[in-house]
């Protein structure tokens, strides 16, 4: 059944450039039909935005679980699902099933496993998985340490037109580390690895991207040295992009005090100089994407000694308000903020979304950017509340969400 056309009035459109514009938007047949100084047509369902932001639905690049209540709370209408599932997304049938798992009120875009079983050895059936619905290829939680395998992967994906999403952490250097080498790891006696483990991985994969012509997206770049390598690669015109999660621009390894396992991340939290470098990289365009890294983990994974706890955080609900802190701090404007969480990830996935433009998919979020609320791990909509931002006051709340021109209740 085709939904009735919807006209959203009385709001401020978040466009690709410039400040929000007071205007309306009309959604017809799942697409954006018009926007600007328009009026509802007869038969339209009219929604009054009451001065709120009318923004594209967020596109979350790299989640580890399909967690629709958390996605809806956070204004996420599309999520790229990492291949680290049980079993991994290394077969066309599994990719096809994952692509359907969000219906009818979410778009799920599977990322195909780069190698069989995510073992880093044998390439998976990438072309068949692309045809089954995979929007990109990912190495999962691990770096492929065999440079020959990585070179073949990048060459093949360049031919297929697929972006390779890679984990940037040299496994030989990182080993079983759970923290970044430095004063905090030493004080706590935690297994640690130097921050250079990330730069080594980024440097090699940039070299291979240059050799093969492939598009490499580093899912998280969290250190100053690795960011300098990405910055230089972009200046040379290489097809290299980078992402980060809010944890790495909001928090440093000081959060590990008292062995707080909700702060156990992969890559681990860095020293404050690296955290500041991440903020600078977001501001200057070196970082292209901010993603939630949504990875809900229950007590069986987190209520353990720090070194034994699983990494990850439930990030979908806090992605938007934490990104908006960069706007309030004057580091980026709203247009840039929504490109980081919607426009750029949509472009990487090759979907017509993430931007308010005639003809684009009608994935829309109404947002009160100044509504205050307090993050609570006990009250999260996520399937588990493992957030390092527990009890933190934030601003910015989604008040209504539309997927393909249909309101999500």
- CA atoms of 268 and 173, how far apart (whole Å): 13
Q: Is residue 2 part of a domain?
A: no
Q: Is residue 35 a part of any domain in this protein?
A: no
Distance separating alpha carbons of residues 139 and 216, to the nearest angstrom: 11
d(CA 356, CA 20): 11
One DSSP character per residue, 2-57 reads PPPPEEEEEEEE--SSSS-EEEEEEEETTEEEEEES--PPTT-EEEE-TT-EEEEP
C-alpha distance across the termini of the chain, in Å: 17
Mapping DSSP to helix (H, G, I), strand (E, B) and coil, where does residue 373 land? strand
**Number of separate domains in the chain:** 1
What tokens appear for 174 in the block?
A: 């990182």
Query: Do 53 and 20 touch, CB atoms closer than 8 A?
Result: yes
348 domain residue, yes or no: yes
What's the longest Cα–Cα distance across the chain?
Answer: 68
For residue 273, what are its two tokens?
Answer: 């100089």
Residue 199 lies in a domain: yes
Q: Name the phi and psi angles at 37, rounded to 5.
A: -80, 65
Q: What is the CATH number of the domain that holds 158?
A: 3.20.20.140
Half-sphere exposure of residue 358, counting CA atoms within 13 Å on the CB side?
5
C-alpha–C-alpha distance, residues 311 and 338, integer Å: 27
Q: Which residues contact 244 (CB under 8 A, 6 or more apart)?
A: 220, 221, 222, 278, 281, 282, 287, 289, 290, 291
Show the tokens assigned to 48. 């009054």
Look at residue 235 and tell me if it is in a domain: yes
- Count CB neighbours of 235 within 10 A: 8
pTM of structure: 0.96
Structure tokens at 350: 């090759």
Q: Which two tokens stand for residue 88?
A: 């991994």
φ, ψ for residue 316, nearest 5 deg: -65, -40
CA distances from 118 to 70, 87, 91, 166, 209 (A): 27, 10, 11, 12, 20
Residue 290 domain flag = yes
Q: Are 382 and 308 in contact (CB under 8 A)?
A: no
The two structure tokens encoding residue 389: 């931002």
Closest CA to 77 of 354, 358, 344: 354
pLDDT by residue for the chain (409 residues), tens only, comes to: 667 999 999 999 999 999 999 999 999 999 999 999 999 999 999 999 999 999 999 999 999 999 999 999 999 999 999 999 999 999 999 999 999 999 999 999 999 999 999 999 999 999 999 999 999 999 999 999 999 999 999 999 999 999 999 999 999 999 999 999 999 999 999 999 999 999 999 999 999 999 999 999 999 999 999 999 999 999 999 999 999 999 999 999 999 998 988 899 999 999 999 999 999 999 999 999 999 999 998 888 888 898 999 888 999 999 999 999 999 999 999 999 999 999 999 999 999 999 999 999 999 999 999 999 999 988 888 878 789 999 999 999 999 999 999 999 7
Assigned domain for 310 exists: yes
Domain range for 91? 57-354+373-395
- CB burial of residue 186 (10 Å; 0-12, 13-18, 19+): exposed
Residue with tokens 């990182």: 174
Q: For tokens 């066309």, name the residue.
A: 92
Q: Is residue 13 part of a domain?
A: no
């Amino acid at each position: 059944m085709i939904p009735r056309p919807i006209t959203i009035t009385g709001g401020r459109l978040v466009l690709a450039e410039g400040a929000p514009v007071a205007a309306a938007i009309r959604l017809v047949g799942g697409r954006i039909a018009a926007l600007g100084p328009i009026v509802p047509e007869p038969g339209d369902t009219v929604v009054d935005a009451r001065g709120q932001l009318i923004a594209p639905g967020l596109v979350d690049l790299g989640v580890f679980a399909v967690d629709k209540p958390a996605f809806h709370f956070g204004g996420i209408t599309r999520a790229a699902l990492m291949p680290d599932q049980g079993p991994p997304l290394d077969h066309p049938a599994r990719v096809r099933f994952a692509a359907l798992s969000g219906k009818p009120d979410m778009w799920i875009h599977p990322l195909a496993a780069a190698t069989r079983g995510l073992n880093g050895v044998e390439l998976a059936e990438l072309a068949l998985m692309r045809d089954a619905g995979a929007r990109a290829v990912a190495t999962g939680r691990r770096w492929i340490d065999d440079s020959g395998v990585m070179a073949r992967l990048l060459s093949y994906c360049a031919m297929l037109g697929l972006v390779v999403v890679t984990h940037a952490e040299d496994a030989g250097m990182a080993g079983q580390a759970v923290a970044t080498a430095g004063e905090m790891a030493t004080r706590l006696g935690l297994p640690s690895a130097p921050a250079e483990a990330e730069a080594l991985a980024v440097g090699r994969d940039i070299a291979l991207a240059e050799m093969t012509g492939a598009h490499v997206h580093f899912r998280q770049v969290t250190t100053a040295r690795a960011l300098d390598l990405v910055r230089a690669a972009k200046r040379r015109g290489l097809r290299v992009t980078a992402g980060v999660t809010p944890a790495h621009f909001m928090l440093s390894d000081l959060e590990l005090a008292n062995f707080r396992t909700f702060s156990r991340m992969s890559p681990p939290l860095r020293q404050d100089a690296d955290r500041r470098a991440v903020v600078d990289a977001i501001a200057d365009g070196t970082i292209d994407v901010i993603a939630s890294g949504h990875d809900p983990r229950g007590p069986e994974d987190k209520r353990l000694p720090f070194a034994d706890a699983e990494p990850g955080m439930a990030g979908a609900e806090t992605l938007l308000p934490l990104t908006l802190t960069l706007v309030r701090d004057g580091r980026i404007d709203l247009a840039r903020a929504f490109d980081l969480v919607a426009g750029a990830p949509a472009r990487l996935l090759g979907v017509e979304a993430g931007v308010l433009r005639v003809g684009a998919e009608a994935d829309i979020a109404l947002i009160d950017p100044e509504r205050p609320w307090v993050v609570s791990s006990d009250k999260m909509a996520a399937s588990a509340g493992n957030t390092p931002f527990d009890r933190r006051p934030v601003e910015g709340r989604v008040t209504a969400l539309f997927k393909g021109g249909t309101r999500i209740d």
